[in-house]
Structure 1
Amino acid sequence: MQKINKFRAHPWHGVTIGPKAPDIVQVYIELVPEDGIKYELDKSSGILKVDRPQRFSSYAPAPYGMIPQTYCGQETAKLMEKEAKENRQISPDQKIIGDDDPLDILVLTEKIVPHGDIMMTAKPIGGLALLDRGEADDKIISVLEDDSVYSEIDDISELPWGILQRIQHYFLSYKKAPDTEDPVCRILTTYGREHARQVIEKSKLDYQNKFQSTIE
């Protein structure tokens, strides 16, 4: 007889990133474009919670969430810092730290996803090196596996410019109030599929370093 699990797996720790990572990853969706409230995974309980009402007109351009068993720590931050210094986007003495969260991911699809708190399988095609108050906060851009429109896209360079511009605008504005001058977030660069793979691998390593001894 099949054993029945009475308890739901924790979306961050109890679900795997997937056997084909970093080419194909599992994604836990927290937020969809129609949400007027920003939801976020409660990291202790694994329950989706209300983070805050959306005060301004900046809504997610696609289903948005996190990649299980990833963590933006020292290795992920070092990768962003190295690239930023090589491209002279930050000063030689500036340090970047991780934001201590799972790796964020946006999933492009032509389908309407009515709500979050679901799992998806997606193909990373690139990402944004987002610096949020000195913290590495990479945003992986992906496409829903087997999507009838987006699944043929393999790299962010193949996206229509208007879609990429919409994504960039969202992440630059979703934390910024209308009466503030200084930007909260800064996109250092937009990168393609191969660099996205590196970011995912570094976040997997950060997760292992942070949690391997504590997760059963």
Structure 2
Amino acid sequence: MVHPWHDVPVDPSQIENALPVIIEIPAGSKNKYELDKDTGLLRLDRVLHSAVHYPANYGFIPRSYAEDGDPLDVLVLGQEPIDPLTIVYVRPLGVLRMIDAGRPDLKILAVSRDDPEFAHVRALEQVSPHRMAEISRFFIDYKVLEEKEVVVINPFQGREEALAAIRAALAAYEEAFGGR
């Protein structure tokens, strides 16, 4: 069986315009699915306690390792919800830095390379300010009723910072897991 974290290749020369992302949670969902690292399957972590839903498709970069011990998270803007465990090729736009449970937690913001509504988007400045505010607010609010604190460090940082975070997470994966 193919493991979505370990077995989906990432070509470092393509991360600017064709970065693979594995979707875990469709846009609009209140269900928080998470990769089971042992099996490669998705498990229901929880149903969100607050009256919010995921503002974009949510997933991770294969063969990446973030500071929180998980693959690097990505929010993918697109017209439609995308089914879990779908590979989507994206163009990274920026990064939202957070502190969750006392640990750094980065969220890459990207657009689907294959969605015509976002084909022209190359920079954060091309995403509506309202959409950006919704995404930031989601991460501020989504754990409030669980009495867990999340600190969102605004504003989003741009494409170069996102690419640097992606490269660091890919290198950290290689260091932690090697050629696995």
TM-score normalised to structure 1 length: 0.77
Aligned partner of residue 12 in structure 1, secondary structure: coil
Tell me if structure 2 keeps the 8 A contact 1:23–1:197.
no
Aligned length: 179
The answer on whether the counterparts of 2:60 and 2:73 sit within 8 Å (CA) in structure 1 is: yes
The match for 2:6 is 13
Partner Cα separation in structure 2 for residue 44 and residue 129 of structure 1: 27
Q: Kindly report the root-mean-square deviation, in angstroms, between the aligned alpha carbons of the 2 structures.
A: 1.8
Equivalent residue number for residue 108 of structure 1: 77
SS at match of 2:50: coil
Partner of 1:172: 140
Instruction: For residue 33 of structure 1, give the secondary structure of its aligned residue in structure 2.
Output: coil
Contact 2:96-2:154 at 8 Å conserved across structures: yes
Contact 2:136–2:152, Cα closer than 8 Å, also in 1: no
Of 46, 65, 68, which residue of structure 2 is paired with 1:52? Answer: 46
Matched, 1:158 2:158: no
Structure 1 residue 60 displacement after superposition: 0.5
Give the drift of 1:188: 4.9
Matches within 5 A, 1:192-211: 192-211=158-177
What TM-score do you get using the length of structure 2 for normalisation? 0.91
Unaligned runs of 5+ in 2: none
TM-aligned CA distance change 1:37 to 1:112, over 3 Å: closer
Of 108, 112, 128 in structure 2, the residue corresponding to residue 144 of structure 1 is 112
Q: 1:131, 1:188 within 8 Å by CA — same for their partners in 2?
A: no
Letter in 1 for 2:116: S
Conserved 8 A contact 1:66-1:104: yes
**Structure 1: runs of 5+ lacking an equivalent:** 1-6, 73-97
**Superposition deviation, residue 31 in structure 1:** 0.3
In terms of Rg, which structure is larger? Answer: 1
Partner of 1:63: 57
How many percent identity over aligned positions?
32
Contact 2:91 2:112 in 1 (8 A): yes
**Distance of 2:155 and 2:9 partners within structure 1:** 29
Partner Cα distance (2:24, 2:38) in 1: 15
Partner of 1:130: 98
